[in-house]
Structure 1
Amino acid sequence: MLEGWKLAVSKLFIIPQRYILGIMGFLAVVNAYTMRVVLSVAITEMVMPIVHNETIDSHSCLDDWQMNTTFVHDTTSSNLYPWTNQQQGIILSSFYWGYVLTHIPGGMIAERFGGKYSLGLGMLCTAIFTFITPFVIYATNGNWISLVVVRVLEGLGEGTTFPALTTLLSNWVPLRERSKIGTLVYAGSQIGTVVGNSVSGALIAATNDWAIAFYFFGAVGIVWFIFWMALCYPDPQSHPFISQKEKEYLAEHIANISSKDKVIPWKAILTSWPIWALVLAQIGHDWGFFTMVTDLPKYMKDVLHFNVKQNGIWSSVPYILMWIVSMSSGWLCDWLIHKGHMKISKARKFFTTLASMGPAVFILIASYVGCDRVLAVTMFTIAMGFMGTFYCGMKVNALDLSPNYAGTIMAIVNGIGGLTGIIVPYLVGALTENHSLAEWRLVFWIAFAVFLVTNLAFIVFGSAKVQSWNTNEGKAGKSTDVEKTKC
């Protein structure tokens, strides 16, 4: 009776369950990034006007843009706070204090018990604290330390996201679909950034209240959690509604996954050159990405003088192109590998290089176009378009190196990379006290150098071979050449 009911329900799902998982994983990342970036837009309308030093830079943009726009704030809210630029940097970076702490525990829990619950409960935690953020600020009369505490708690919840998703993908996605589905999931960060920036700006402009953005995205995150718990499961074997055909297909095509109790080979992982090359590549990407995600709205406001609605829209434009490139490059990467035009290692390095040096060059160019707002946005957009190839390059590389311990590897890689989320906003805040173009140009030169060095390390030491410690049977010093496996 029960089996007959499960069979009947499985027929209602036209889309295979691995794609449903991919779609819900994509929405998880979208929600994660909307809740992460909402403060980057809102904070421009939460602080009292700061007097700029007009003599610091002879090339600073003139304020005549403001003749056709609004002045410092578009909102009429009286809830404005005297946070300094350095305090704002600490506030923006504080999310990542908690974020990096739960990566490794999140990865270990996901590998032990499945990623469904560690991802779902972590996202629910972030959604709740996002929703109550305005209440905390009001209750403490704008004490910036209280906002730091809330953001740390949000980060603790969201730190499980990528390790859990990587574990789920290793259990659900066959090699021949790895770039496509992996890119779909991870590229949710661009859509989340687009939605977070544009919708936050529109909501704040429409209601004259910065708090509405936190209420909205917190509530959406809670709704996502309900659907996630109902639709998704840790692996094909535990899914009650998966078709027998899909279950057999996945059992045949997902290789190098062990059902045995796993003892994480910490020594082998921590002494692996490909792992540390991947860590450095992640640091490079995150440095540039967090510079854009966290601080681009401030650049748009302080240097180019966009108002909040324009800021939300134009800060989003680069991520639209990034998402388009992400999805198309994921399909292209799989096709090149499947047709034998590229081995997996070469493909990972090629697309990672595009995702590093393209942004490095065009972000820097953007700082040299001066106050031409159209050209500046164009350069930022091209830069982020190149960054879209990152996902089929190095982001799925943890799945290549060790499907069994992909969650733990992602936790290490993404956790260490997340440290840049602590460093970058504070550094940018400290370097741009006077909001001048010259100060921001230094910020972009630093990003260029980080991109260059970390990408070279990945080219030299990176790999896509399954490592010997992925299975208990592997012998030290040897790796399985997964590149010879047919897709």
Structure 2
Amino acid sequence: MLTGWRRILNRVIFIPQRYVLGILGLFALANSFTMRVCLSMTITQMVLHPEASEHIVGETCPDPDWAGVVNNTIEETTIPSFQLERRVKYDWSEATQGFLLSAFYYGYVATHLPGGILAEKFGGKWTLGIGLLCTSIATALTPLAVDLGGAVGLFIIRVIEGMGEGPVTPAFVLLLARWVPPSERSRFGAMIFGGAQIGNIFGPYMSGLFLADNGDWANVFYFFGGLGIIWFLFWVLLCYSTPNCHPFISDEEKMYLNKNVTASGLHKKLDPVPFKAILRSPQLWVLVLAAVGHDWGYFTMITDLPKYFSDVLKFNIKETGLMSALPYVAMYVCSFIFAYICDLCIKKRWHSITTGRKIYTTVSSSLPALFIILASYSGCDRVQAVGLFIASMAFMGGFYSSVKINAMDIAPNYAGTCSAFVNGLAAISGIITPYLVGLLTPDQTIGQWRVAFWTVFAVLVATNLVYLIWGSGEQQWWDDVDKLGYPSNWKHGPLKKRTQDLEKKVVHPKHDHSPIHHD
């Protein structure tokens, strides 16, 4: 019966299954980012704000909507009685808010490497799916956690959300390494990881609508948590870890992928992760630095840009949602443009994979750094500031054709572990930047924010320079020792214990117990 259904699906479903994976991957990243960034919007309505009388001429912008607010509270007549308890404003300092905004990344960093290892052992499908399901449930429980524990409850539930999302990136990089040929990687990287920008667009915009007119902030968490649970059901039914275990992939697509996908893990069981070589790989550490730089700028934008629009430029909450979404519309559109150009140039051999990764790392780091600084000097000119932030995020779209997928280039077989290592360490930026911005901007003045943006500029440019000098897009020897062999300067013994034991038995069965060095 089951075999008959599979045959029918094989004939009826004409969409290549790697595109089904790509589409559901897009929705996965979109929903994961809505759950990640929604607190950036809701926290602006959960806390007390400085009174307008404290406005410092030349340092803060005037609030055009202040006339409707008295002593930091909204008139009770505009709030339904059943929402009064929810309308309690929390007296959290800027530093405390920064600490709460960074809480997600404590869990996110902690589960990256375990998530990558689990994905390689059990498959990307379940590692990713169960992780996002946990995040979705925790998101829906956020209002309850705040009611019960205040700031402490919010911190704990955000850490749990981060733990669920930690395996997402390494699992997706591994899935792409198993499903996507090298000539399509930039395209699929933009499709799936560009879903983050859909989340950054949809999350603030929908949050603004929910929060407008004194809407209950709890509805934001219920909505996005519920969407994540619905996504999980489709993911379980339609996606699989490799083409060879997919029940209704076409024979033509399976043959094409088995012929063109470079990861040997698609065809055989992988050896244990070669941590001894990975941790000594300069190419991996350079990629870590590039990812740290990008994430420093990117997380500052997704976490703190809503606060800048709300507290500095004084957009109301509905306008803040729209203005916060616009830069990510630009980033999403440009990510596909950069991906198409990059894939085309690699396919036509106009430049190498390494050159392409370096070009778009520069596009996604140094150019955004420049526009962020220009935006910080635009003062209270809302149009100019928003325009410059849009330009900065548009160029960050090159990230999905460079740093985000570079782990697949240097280690297609161990892409899950390497991506977990890279993204896990880079995500420490998400812990540091919200708290640092909170410390640097206690009064929410333009001058204080300018210092924060100069910090972003310095990190983006410095890490980009390091990647330009030492970055690589070539498969590293330790990813497939059987095919590529050991480098001449490798002095740390064999990577595979069973290879060592086999050679002892066959080549030197009685006398030779020396370590094996491969050419």
Return the index of the structure with the highest Cα Rg. Answer: 2
Long gaps (5+) in structure 1: 480-487
1:247 aligned partner: 254
Distance 2:376 2:45 in 1: 24
Distance 2:209 2:2 in 1: 49
2:180 aligned partner: 173
2:196 counterpart letter in structure 1: S
Distance 1:209 1:269 in 2: 48
1:351 to 356, 360, 363: 360
1:123 aligned partner: 132
Write out aligned runs for 1:148-297 (5 A): 148-205=155-212, 208-258=215-265, 259-297=268-306
Distance 2:280 2:43 in 1: 42
1:44 counterpart letter in structure 2: T
Once the 2 structures are TM-superposed, how far is the Cα of residue 13 of structure 1 from its aligned partner?
A: 1.6
Contact 2:108 2:162 in 1 (8 A): yes
Contact 1:322 1:384 in 2 (8 A): yes
Distance 1:448 1:345 in 2: 24
Once the 2 structures are TM-superposed, how far is the Cα of residue 138 of structure 1 from its aligned partner?
A: 1.7
1:37 aligned partner: 37
Contact 2:52 2:63 in 1 (8 A): no
Q: Does 1:146 align with 2:153?
A: yes
Distance 1:231 1:315 in 2: 33
Long gaps (5+) in structure 2: 490-519
Q: Does 1:413 align with 2:412?
A: no
Runs of 4+ in 1 over 4 A off after TM superposition: 51-55, 67-77
2:43 counterpart letter in structure 1: I
SS at match of 2:210: helix
**1:290-315 alpha-carbon deviations (Å, 9 max, x no partner):** 11000001100111001110000001
Once the 2 structures are TM-superposed, how far is the Cα of residue 472 of structure 1 from its aligned partner?
A: 3.3
1:485 aligned partner: none
Once the 2 structures are TM-superposed, how far is the Cα of residue 2 of structure 1 from its aligned partner?
A: 4.7
| TM-score computed with the length of structure 1 as normaliser | 0.94
**1:327-374 alpha-carbon deviations (Å, 9 max, x no partner):** 111111100111111111001000110100111000000010110001
Aligned residues, how many? 476
Once the 2 structures are TM-superposed, how far is the Cα of residue 471 of structure 1 from its aligned partner?
A: 1.3
2:14 aligned partner: 14
Q: Which moved more, 1:205-214 or 1:115-124?
A: 205-214
**1:358-399 alpha-carbon deviations (Å, 9 max, x no partner):** 110000000101100011000000000010011101211100
Once the 2 structures are TM-superposed, how far is the Cα of residue 14 of structure 1 from its aligned partner?
A: 2.2
Distance 1:186 1:356 in 2: 17
Distance 2:294 2:486 in 1: 31
SS at match of 1:443: helix
**1:225-262 alpha-carbon deviations (Å, 9 max, x no partner):** 11100110000111101111111110111124232232
1:62 aligned partner: 61
SS at match of 2:273: coil
2:339 aligned partner: 330
SS at match of 1:435: coil
Contact 2:99 2:435 in 1 (8 A): yes
Q: Does 1:28 align with 2:28?
A: yes
Distance 1:100 1:282 in 2: 13
Once the 2 structures are TM-superposed, how far is the Cα of residue 68 of structure 1 from its aligned partner?
A: 8.0
After superposition, the Cα gap between the structure-2 partners of 1:91 and 1:478, relative to the gap in structure 1 and judged at 3 Å, is: farther
Distance 2:96 2:28 in 1: 30
Distance 2:119 2:335 in 1: 26
2:250 counterpart letter in structure 1: S
1:483 aligned partner: none
1:174 counterpart letter in structure 2: P
After superposition, the Cα gap between the structure-2 partners of 1:207 and 1:243, relative to the gap in structure 1 and judged at 3 Å, is: farther
Distance 2:329 2:392 in 1: 12
1:457 to 450, 463, 466: 466
Q: Does 1:100 align with 2:99?
A: no
Distance 1:241 1:287 in 2: 42
Once the 2 structures are TM-superposed, how far is the Cα of residue 69 of structure 1 from its aligned partner?
A: 7.7
SS at match of 2:379: coil
1:388 aligned partner: 397
C-alpha RMSD of the superposition: 1.8
2:499 aligned partner: none
Contact 1:73 1:308 in 2 (8 A): no
2:287 counterpart letter in structure 1: L
1:134 counterpart letter in structure 2: P
Distance 2:409 2:287 in 1: 11
Contact 2:330 2:390 in 1 (8 A): yes
SS at match of 2:481: coil
